[in-house]
Amino acid sequence: MAADQLTPAAQYLRMSTEHQQYSIENQAAAIQRYADFNGFKIVQTYSDPARSGVVLKRRKGLQELLRDVCSTTAAPYRAILVYDVSRWGRFQDTDEAAHYEFLCKASGIPVHYCSETFANDGTLPNMIMKALKRTMAGEYSRELSVKVSAGLKHIAHLGFKQGGCAGYGLRRMLVSREGEPKQLLEENERKSLATDRVILVPGPANEIRVVRHIYKLLIYDGLSVNGIAAELNQRNLEYAPDSKWDYAAVWGVLTGLKYIGFHAFGRTSAKLYTPKLNLPRSEWIVVSGAFEPIVDYATFAQAQQILYQRSLNKPDEELLYALRRLLARRGRLSGSLIADSPDMSSPSTYRDHFGSLRRAYELIGYGRPEDFGPTELRRRTQALREELIATIGKIFPEDVSIVRRGGRWRSQLCLRNSALLSVLIVRSIRVGKGTIRWEVVPVGHERRHLTLLARLDNSNRPFLDFHLLPNVDRPKRFHIRQADPWLLRGVRLDNLSELLTTVQEVSLT
C-alpha cells in the first residue's frame, strides 16, 4: 500500500515494572507489526515509562493523548494503537477505562488493541471479551497489592524497616538477611540487593543528646511542645540543614516509638493509590527490641502520660481564650499558626476537644467562610464551579453532559457535537488602593476549548456575570478590569438559558 494511502495513527506505550514482555521496545515492535498489516502509519507516540496503570495521575503521556483528542483542533491521526487492554490501564473501576476510550471514540479516533485476540469493533462478543479483560487487568493489580502487603508485613514482623527516613537522632543501617551490619546508608542511598534489609541505629552523639534533652525539657522543666521548639531554636540547634525546630519536629521525637527501639509499621494505608487513611493503633504491627533505643521505656511512658494529661485536662474555655488571643495578635487563624505559637496547645488538642478546628473557630466567632484564608476560598470556589456545572446540566439535560474523569481532572461540559466546554470561575482581588480586578487563571489542557468564564462579585460570593469565549488565549494568569476589552473576544450572557445559542454564535465567529 502506498504511503499516502495509509491511515495516520498514534501509538500509546506504557511500562510499569512488571516484566520484559511489556518493555517499551517490545510494545512498539508489536504495534508496528499491527500497523504494517492493517494499513496504519504511526505519526505520533505517547508514552508513560515506569508508570502504574492503576490511576490517571502522573501518567503524563495518556493525559496528553486525551487532551489532544478532546481538543477543538483536529488531531493529526485517525486511530490510537495500544499493545493490549492492560497497557491502556489497570483501572480499579472498569468504567474509568471505558470512559477514556469513549472520549477517543467520540472524537472519531478509535482505539485498537494490537495484541488482543478480539477486534475492538463494537460487536457483542468482543465487547464482552473487552470488559472481561479490563476486569482481569484491574484484578491483577488488586492481587499484586495483597501479595506485596503480605510481604511487607512479614518483613515488619521480623523487625526490619521498610522505607522512609530515619528521623532525627537515628540513621539507617544496611544489614544482611541474617542481620549482619554492612554499612550506614546516606540520605539518598537505597539498598541494591533484594535480600538485604534495613534497621535503625543511633545517630551522631550530639543529636542523641538533643533527643534526650527534649524529654528532659518536657518532663522536668514542664515546657510545652512549642516551648521546647523555641528553646532549641534559641540555642541555634538545627533540626535539619537550614531547617528549624517546630511543633511537628518536637512532637515526632516525643511520640516516636523508634526512639525506644520499637518498630511500628502499618500506621497508614493508601493501597492502589486510594486516599491515605490513618489506621487504628490496634491494626499496627509493633515489634519491640527491633532497634537500639535512645530513650529508656520509663522516660518515654512518662512523656506520653504528660502529653495525654495536658490535652485531656485543659478546660475548653482556656483553649478558646488562647485561640482568641492568637486571632487578635495575628489577625487570622490556621493550623500552622496554632502549631507554631509557643503559648498554644497543638491543633490535635483542639480537634480532640471540639471535633475539628473549624468548630473551635466558630465558637469564638471566626466562622465566616471568608475568614478561612486562601485554602478555604479555593475550596468554596471549586464548590461554586461544580454547582454551576450541575445547574447547566439541569437546564440542558438533552444537549449537555457532564464529563468527570476522576483523579485531578476537573469536570467539564460536553456538548451534543462532542465539543468540550471549559468552565472557569474568576475571583475578584484588590490591587493598589482598593482597586478591584479579576484574576484569570488558565488551565493548561483547557485553554483551547470554548470557555464559559464566570466572574464572582467583589465579595467573591454570587456570580457577577458570564462570558462565553472561543478560548483562553494566554498561558499564564492575568488580571482583567470590570469592562475589559479582552472580554469582547466573546459574548456576554444575560442568562444561562442563552448558553447553547451563544455557543453556536461564538463557534461561527
CA 499 to CA 157: how far, in whole Å? Answer: 62
Supply the pTM of this predicted model: 0.58
Q: Where are the alpha helices (DSSP H) in 43-84?
A: 60-70
Give the sign of the dihedral formed by CA 295, CA 296, CA 299, CA 300: positive
Helix axes 225-234, 205-219, angle to 10 degrees: 140
Q: CA distances (Å), 207 to each of 292, 432, 470, in order?
A: 15, 49, 61
Per-residue pLDDT tens, the chain, 509 aa: give them. Answer: 666 689 999 999 998 765 556 788 899 999 999 999 999 999 999 999 877 778 887 789 999 999 999 887 888 999 999 999 999 988 888 888 899 999 999 999 999 999 999 989 889 998 999 999 998 988 888 888 888 888 888 888 888 888 888 899 999 999 888 888 889 888 778 887 778 899 999 999 999 999 999 999 999 998 888 889 889 999 999 898 878 898 888 989 999 999 999 998 888 777 766 666 777 778 888 999 999 999 999 999 999 998 888 776 778 888 888 888 888 877 778 887 887 776 778 787 888 888 888 888 888 877 654 555 565 677 678 778 888 888 898 899 888 888 765 545 678 888 887 788 999 999 998 877 678 899 999 988 888 899 999 999 888 878 899 999 999 988 889 999 998 999 999 999 988 989 998 988 887 66
Domain 3-143 in CATH 3.40.50.1390? The answer is yes
Determine the topology of domain 170-311 in CATH.
Hect, E3 ligase catalytic domain fold (3.90.1750)
**Cβ-proximal residues to 439 (8 Å cutoff; 6+ apart), any chain:** 426, 427, 428, 429, 477, 478, 479
Q: Domain boundaries in the chain? A: 3-143, 170-311, 314-367, 374-508
Report the C-alpha gap between 77 and 111 in whole angstroms: 11
Please, which residues have CB within 8 angstroms of residue 207's CB and are 6 or more apart in sequence?
168, 169
Q: Are 45 and 11 a contacting pair, CB within 8 Å? A: yes
CATH number of 374-508: 3.40.1350
* Residue among 410, 411, 412, 397 nearest 500 (CA): 397
From CA 20, how far away is CA 32, in angstroms rounded?
18
261-300 burial, b for 16+ CB within 10 Å, e for fewer?
Answer: bbbebeeeeeeebeeeeeeeeeeebebeebbebbbeeebb
Provide the 3-class DSSP secondary structure of residue 56. coil
